[in-house]
Homo-oligomer: A and B are copies of this chain.
Amino acid sequence: MERIPILQMGDFLLVTIQVDMHDQLALTLQDDLSERISKTSAHGVLIDISALGMVDSFIGRMIGTISGLSKIMDAETVLVGMQPAVAITLVELGLTLPGVSTALNVERGMQLLQGRVYQQ
């Protein structure tokens, strides 16, 4: 079965989205991610969307759901690698992604998470 891999890097989990998401894949990702957060006690989730040249409201909603899910499980979510065109589309779609932090790339996202998590 098709799955989006979740990579562990220290206290954080990294998800790279490269393929077109469809309902089943999004659901599987949510299930896998919540299981991994619980198993690894991860404190943060990085979602890399640098491979996506465009997003639709489905992806926007999925990111919101993942963020809410992680929050409940005590993990921060940072969205990284957003292309300029994607940012414009998200704003035009009215998807302001409340509760989701963003960073330019994985390294900065990691720094952001480390600052947040270890300063508490």
Contact residues of A between 1 and 50, Cβ < 8 Å to B:
3-5, 7-10, 14, 16, 18-19, 48, 50
Number of interface residues of A (CB under 8 A): 19
Question: Complex formed: what's the CA distance from A18 to B9 in Å?
Answer: 18
Report the copy number of this chain in the oligomer.
Answer: 2
Q: Which residues on A are within 8 Å of B, measured CB to CB?
A: 3-5, 7-10, 14, 16, 18-19, 48, 50-51, 81, 105-107, 110
Are B50 and A7 in touch, CB under 8 angstroms? Answer: yes
Are B8 and A107 in touch, CB under 8 angstroms? Answer: yes
| Min C-beta distance of A111 to chain B, whole Å | 11
Q: A19: which of B7, B9, B19 is its contact (CB, 8 Å)? A: B19
